[in-house]
Chain A
Amino acid sequence: MKAHMSARRAIVLAAAIAIAAAGCSSSSSSSTSSTGSSSTPASTATGSASASTSAVSTSQCGTKPGVAATGTPIALGAIATNQPGTSFTDIPNMANAYFACVNANGGINGHPIKLYIATEQTNPAQIAADAKQLVQTDKVVGIIGNTSIIECSVDSSYWQKLGYYIVDSGIAPECYSTPNSAAVNMGPRYSSDGAVQYALAQHVSKVVFDQSNVPGTGYIAAGPAALAKAANVPIVQLTENVPISDADSVAIKEVDDAGPNGAVILNFTPPEALVILQAAQKLGLEDHVKLWGCSTPCNTDFLATSLGAKWNNKLFVNAELTPPDVTNTTTMNLYKAILKQYGSAVSGGIGSFSQMGFTEAEIAVHALETITGAYTVASVNAALKAVSNFNTGMLCQLWTYGSYPLHIPNNEDYTVTPDNGKMVTAQGCTQISSVDPQIAQYRSVAGTAATAP
């Protein structure tokens, strides 16, 4: 009896696994990640944008307006973190929106682009598996739009081995320190550099740099440390475990350490930064330091609206991308138009996330359009590597990939500050100082890119 029971169990189990796995291993699974039915209201900023979009038609994104692409698809892939509390899916989703626009207007020489998006929950095994899925099963020829807390660390040797030159929105150190990854953003370290640099330029007497305790804190802290040392300003390095459950003590500690003529610079995701800043405000401490600073994640209108007027010209946020609300160029308007028409999966609306997705897609399309023969891993990645001095319309500088051992192509930034619910420019394009050794190393091999017109 028992033998048959367990034998039956074994067979049921084996059959189930074999069927499911065999059925799935051959499937080309594209996953436009489902962001679900968001019951959250749309960004307050999209309202103001609609006025300027009327002048631009989205058909500008492609080479043959109105002609749908019907050839064999060019497969590209992206890996993005999507877990409770952290979701970067807006970035590849916006890239996908751009590709949808291009596909509807001529494609790449008649070929549509198909973007496979794999999501992950900061699990190294899953991330490695996702990369293999994209390459082996989905047969992607390029990786565009990766945005993940640890993906660059986990997969960089895999991309190097296979010859993929990825264009991503970097976070982990390897996104900036390896030959196979070039980011459109500056990432936590160089963005924090920008925020600290701005504070130092306001002649603060002390800097407190507080960041979330996620992988890479030492790497990130090294940048601000170098800047503060060069300016002869003492710096206090702090880390907080996230999610933060006692923002009060965090705020008090930061303010105490900074002193009345000091600056508190934060490197957190928007919800955590918001909690700290709100706690500081509730405790009445926002004016107890000379200024507050924040790396790029704080650059959202949501934050500006939630914080209120007390933070106008008090909080200075480093902006890695051109502020959308005050820019009226063709590219910016095209971005807003594409977001409106094709970007239903982009839940965050106008903001740096969708801007990054747009920029990465722009670069990809620009590179793909230069290819004359077949679209293979070799040809596509050679084209991506060859992107040089490209004006994305979203960055301070012209963007270059190039054959360098490390890539920090975006190293010039704005500083913005909240102004009654919106983020406005406080300082125009300013280079990140070469005092940061990594920046110095990059500039020694790649030079300093020209500022975009």
Chain B
Amino acid sequence: MPPWSDFEPFIVSGLALGGVYALSGVGLVVLYRATGVLYLAFGAVGAMGALTAWSLGQAGAPGWVTWLTCIAVAALITLVYGLIFGPALSRREPLVKAVATIGLTLILYGLMDLLWTTSGGEARSLTLPSDNGGFSVGQVQVNWTQVIALGGAVVITVGTGMFLRYTKLGTAMRAMANDREITATLGVPVRRVEAAAWLGCGVLAGIAGLLLADLVALDATTLTFLVISSLAAVLIARLRSITVTFVAAIVVGLLHDLLTPITSLTNYRDMTPFVLAAAALLVMPRSQVMAQSREEA
């Protein structure tokens, strides 16, 4: 086992990676609580926004325009999807709704590779001004983008948690996610609430996409399928608690990076999210699993 000092820099990078997972994971759970859909296209939508932002940046647009465009693109795609397929699939079980978002993921993935073709020698990258500057912790530097990502995840966790629980709109969203028909009969303007939910989801995906494109890589494949690793935190929280998702994401990120200096395990460290999720799911008490409630999937 390497000495403790070897692990130190990986704690910092692990927290940063945890922030990355938290951004996607929290976004997914928030979406699930608000719409009843596990939005697997979260990464793809964010990637599309980020690539659009990159193209605009290459064409000379100022930074803030590109960021707003990224968020707008993600929000628009999500809103359109939600308005068309939300009502169409509202009576189906959560599994079907999630698989439908796989359809959207594939469409976007194919589109991204067509529009932003892979060219042999080219490497796209997205940089944000918060990349320059930060502070040191030990021998490594932390840049502001990582702080924003982690902080943003915290804000989203706390903010949306409170929003969903304490505000009228948030409660309406949760009710709709549980049972659309009954909520409609109670006089809640379902179409408007639904649109608000999907729009909010899209904005979240856009913000996450921008940050992830900077922190991870500006690559359609990486960003689209990063959602698979982020699902680990979501599963550990059983798609219910946003706070648990956040904490789980941090733990997954930390553990993943802390395995790096251990030579015998380092090549397997990419398994960390999957192993943790599987373990967490399998220690789930049986009674919760057999529940009939639609919210339980």
Contacts and interface: CB of A to CB of B under 8 A. Distances in A.
A91 B120 CA distance: 9
A238 B270 CA distance: 15
B143 A282 contact: yes
A58 interface: no
Interface in B8-47: 9-10, 13-14, 16-17, 20
B119 interface: yes
B69 to A, nearest CB: 14
B125 A347 contact: no
Contacts of A285: 139-140
A313 interface: no
A41 interface: yes
Interface in B103-149: 109, 113-125, 131, 136, 139-141, 143
B257 to A, nearest CB: 4
B121 A352 contact: yes
A241 B257 contact: no
A271 B257 contact: no
A353 B121 CA distance: 7
Contacts of B116: 39-40
Nearest to A239: B267
A302 B121 contact: yes
A243 B261 contact: no
B55 interface: yes
Interface string A290-321: 00000001001011001000000000000000
Contact of B260 (A40, A84, A253): A253
Contacts of B216: 245-247, 275
A89 B123 CA distance: 16
Nearest to B145: A282
Contacts of B257: 246, 248-249
Interface stretch (B76-84, B183-191, B218-226, B233-241): B218-226
A85 interface: yes
Given A248-B257, A252-B260, A253-B261, A271 B120 contact: no
Instruction: Kindly name the residue among B123, B229, B270 whose own CB sees the greatest number of chain A CB atoms within 10 A.
Output: B123
Contact of A87 (B118, B221, B222): B118
Contacts of A247: 216-217
A284 interface: yes
A248 B17 contact: yes
Nearest to A256: B6
B270 A241 contact: yes
Contact of A284 (B121, B136, B261): B136
Interface in A347-380: 347-349, 351-353
A271 B217 contact: yes
B118 A84 contact: yes
Given A35-B117, A90-B120, A270-B123, A248 B217 contact: no
A226 to B, nearest CB: 22
B58 interface: yes
A256 B261 contact: yes
B266 interface: yes
Given A83-B118, A84-B113, A348-B119, A253 B141 contact: no
Given A36-B114, A241-B270, A246 B219 contact: no
A306 B125 contact: yes
Given A41-B58, A243-B222, A347-B119, A249 B10 contact: yes
A90 B119 contact: yes
B266 A253 contact: yes
Contacts of B219: 85, 243, 271
A86 B118 contact: yes
19 contacts: A39-B115, A40-B55, A82-B118, A85-B219, A87-B117, A87-B118, A91-B120, A241-B267, A245-B217, A247-B216, A248-B257, A249-B14, A249-B260, A252-B140, A275-B216, A284-B136, A306-B123, A347-B119, A351-B120
Q: Name the 9 nearest CB pairs between A and B, nearest first.
A: A284-B141, A248-B13, A347-B119, A300-B121, A87-B118, A348-B121, A271-B123, A274-B123, A270-B123
